[in-house]
Chains A and B, each alone.
Chain A
Amino acid sequence: MAEDTFLTDDFLRQLINVGEVDILVGLPTHNNAKTVGSIVKAIQSGILRWFPRERAVIINADGGSRDGTPELVTSISIDDVRRGPNPYALRTLHSISTKYAASPAVPAAFRTILAAAELLQAKACVVMSPESSSTEDEWISKLLRPIRNDGFDLVTPTYRRHKFEGVLITNLLYPMTRALYGLRLREPYAQEFGFSGRLGGEFLSQNVWDDGAAGSGIELRFTLAAITAQHRICQSFLGQKDHIEQRGSDLVPALRQTVGPLFSALAPDFPFWSTAVGSQPLLSIGPDHELLLDLVRVNRKRLREMFTTGVAELATVFQSILSPDTLAELQRVALLGENDFAYPAELWVKTVYEFAASYHKSVISRDHIIQALAPLFRGRALAFLMEQRNGSEQDVENCIESLCLEFERLKPYLLQMWKSRE
Chain B
Amino acid sequence: MIHFFVRRILYCLLTLLFLSIIVFSLLHLAPGDPARMILPQEATEEDVLQMRKVLGLDKPLFVQYVNWLGKAVKLDFGDSIQGKRSAAKLFLARLPATLELTLGALILSVLFAIPLGIIAAIKRGTYWDFIISFISLFGLSTPRFWLGIILILIFSLGLGWFPSFGRGVGLFDGIAQLFKGDLATLYEALRNLVLPSIALATFFAAIFVKHTRANVLEEISKLYVKTARQKGIGEYRVILFHVLRNALIPIVTVIALNVGLVMGGAVVTEIVFAWPGVGQLLINALFARDYPLIQASLFMVGGLITVIFILMDIIYVALDPRIRTKGAG
| A-B interaction | no
Q: Which residues of B contact A (CB under 8 A)?
A: none
